[in-house]
Amino acid sequence: ITRMHFQWDWLCMGVLIISSVTAEIENEDHLDADVEVEDFDQRSEEADVDRDESSLEVVYQTPKPTGEVYFTETFDGELTGWVLSKTKKDDADDNVAKYDGKWEVEELKENTVPGDRGLVLKSVAKHHAISAMLTKAFSFDNKPLIVQYEVNFQDGIDCGGAYVKLISSSDDLDLEYFFDKTPYTIMFGPDKCGEDYKLHFIFRHKNPKTGEYEEKHAKRPDVDLKKFYLDKKTHLYTLVLKPDDTFEMSIDQSVVSRGSLLEDMVPPVNPPQEVEDPSDKKPDDWDERPKIPDPNAVKPDDWNEDEPSKIEDPDAVKPDGWLDDEPQYVPDPNAKKPKDWDEEMDGEWEAPQISNPKCETAPGCGQWVRPMKNNPNYKGKWKAPMIDNPNYQGIWSPRKIPNPDYFEDLHPFEMTTVSAIGLELWSMTSNIYFDNFIICSEKEVADRWAADGWGLKKLVASANEPGMFSQLVTAAEDHPWLWVLYILTLALPVGLGVLFCWPAKKTDEDTDFSKTDISKPILKEDLKQGREELEDDEIELEEKENEDIAED
């Protein structure tokens, strides 16, 4: 039984260690997000991928839209239709105000799909601005708006954005003068600085009473976005606005945020119906005190406010061996006056003070003083106890009046028409890759576009993922203690095999009889002797019974 318990303990220990290693690897790759995963795999071609190969041979064809679209761009051909801004950024120093950041059209640095190119932001610490007109303007009427594009932070990201702006239509729109103050209808996409990871969705809402525009920001997603900025993979960003005034943001076709334009924007689209009256003033006699000192309370006669909080302990006794005549600090006997010491300029030189070595073995040095203790008679300054205020009127607040600026926009989806798309960015990291922009109204069109572009990139990246052994080594490089678990995990099968399969050594306790108990041959003389002894016992017993009868 003891041996079995020992074997089961080893088995349980092995399961725990293997679970720990597996959990550590999964934790490195798992995004802590509660997302709704779309069935993208049904729309993408499945392939058997050899994980030992360094790359996957693919045949790339430039995506083509399968339905009505308002704009598409793959960057696989000439960069036609895109306009570089020639203006300056407002409110910036002249040396950094120019939009002189460089753009290039090139393939991905890693997980390259031959023939597939994208637009890459190349400059560090510079303003970038580039834009293009839509194929046809999008009007917010009875069709959804879908904006979708790819981003890859190829060098990670320190501080910078990769969001797009949908530029509002206007008669005087000139893309050569596209800058930060150019009116836009929607801004959408990732942005990061420091440890603040954002996914913007902002729309500019027109006040129907004043005609002024105000930015409305979607509430932050409840999921952790960090991985999308640091893993150097291409990610797909999708915004869907619907005529029922709802919105949905997705990353890699997984919903990370959804809400209502009427309820989930900051500040709200519609102002409150009532506001506080700015002319209302609190009355001078308004009593906001919930508690007041009891006016009828009287200080007790024995209350002494002059008693100190601490007094000397009269029971304290000076410890034996206390060195009253020894100071706590003495001049350092090993110190020497510096050669360049000038007593006329620096004054008389004195050796620095050090702790008195005699005090190290004594309970204390110098004049002994009694320690202080809490004064049992201390009560402090007397205050009347607090009671409920009979005149309490509550916390005063101004009266409410109808909001003179109130309006009710029941359909904020009806935004300003969009006629162009632009990237107006600042970044402290270069090589931000953009690709496969599409603006449409049908989800099937956007999904097919994603399958032909981002889906292929995802397939290649998956094929180039390191095998399990490489992942284990990489995890151990980040967490060296994993090597111990690896060694124990490899040693467990051998140990368990020995425990369960090695034949047990026979001991004296394992036998039910000894060598002296082994059967011997039975001879004929032994049988005869045993029969004679049995007959003698029977005769003796019969004689004893007859004697008992005679006595009776």
Terminal CA-CA length for the chain: 63
* 483 assigned to some structural domain: no
- pLDDT range class, residue 523, cuts 50, 70, 90: low
252-303 pLDDT, tens per residue? 999 999 999 999 999 999 999 999 999 999 999 999 999 999 999 999 999 9
CATH number for the domain spanning 228: value is 2.60.120.200
For residue 178, what is the enclosing H or E element? none
Distances in whole angstroms, Cα of residue 311 to Cα of each of 308, 315, 375, 381: 7, 12, 6, 17
Cα–Cα dist 188/190, whole Å: 7
419-457 pLDDT, tens per residue? 999 999 998 999 999 999 999 999 999 999 999 999 999
* 16 assigned to some structural domain: no
| 401 contacts 143 by C-beta, under 8 angstroms | no
Highest mean pLDDT, choosing among 235-239, 346-350, 356-360, 545-549: 235-239
Q: What integer pLDDT is reported at residue 535 of this predicted model?
A: 62
Three-state secondary-structure class, residue 11: helix
What total of structural domains would you count in the chain? 1
Q: What integer pLDDT is reported at residue 8 of this predicted model?
A: 53
Highest mean pLDDT, choosing among 238-247, 519-528, 537-546: 238-247
- pLDDT range class, residue 91, cuts 50, 70, 90: confident
> Percent of the chain scored above 70 by pLDDT?
77
Q: What integer pLDDT is reported at residue 33 of this predicted model?
A: 38
* 256 assigned to some structural domain: yes
Q: What integer pLDDT is reported at residue 266 of this predicted model?
A: 95
172-192 pLDDT, tens per residue? 999 999 999 999 999 999 998
Q: Which residues contact 291 (CB under 8 A, 6 or more apart)?
A: 386, 387, 388, 389
What phi, psi does 141 have (nearest 5°)?
A: -120, -95
* 108 assigned to some structural domain: yes
- pLDDT range class, residue 14, cuts 50, 70, 90: low
* 208 assigned to some structural domain: yes
* 523 assigned to some structural domain: no
Q: Which residue has the higher pLDDT, 531 or 63?
A: 63
Instruction: List the single range of 26-40, 119-133, 203-217, 476-490 with lowest mean pLDDT.
Output: 26-40
| 187 contacts 415 by C-beta, under 8 angstroms | no
* 15 assigned to some structural domain: no
Q: What integer pLDDT is reported at residue 45 of this predicted model?
A: 42
pTM value?
Answer: 0.64
Closest CA to 151 of 164, 132, 170: 164
- pLDDT range class, residue 474, cuts 50, 70, 90: low
* Domain limits for position 249: 69-275+411-464
Q: What integer pLDDT is reported at residue 134 of this predicted model?
A: 97
Residue 2 in this model has a pLDDT that exceeds 90: no
Residue 35 in this model has a pLDDT that exceeds 50: no
Largest CA distance in the chain: 151
* 39 assigned to some structural domain: no
Closest CA to 234 of 60, 432, 18, 367: 432
Joined tokens for residue 261 = 């334009």
Q: What integer pLDDT is reported at residue 533 of this predicted model?
A: 65
Distances in whole angstroms, Cα of residue 304 to Cα of each of 296, 378, 383, 518: 20, 8, 12, 101
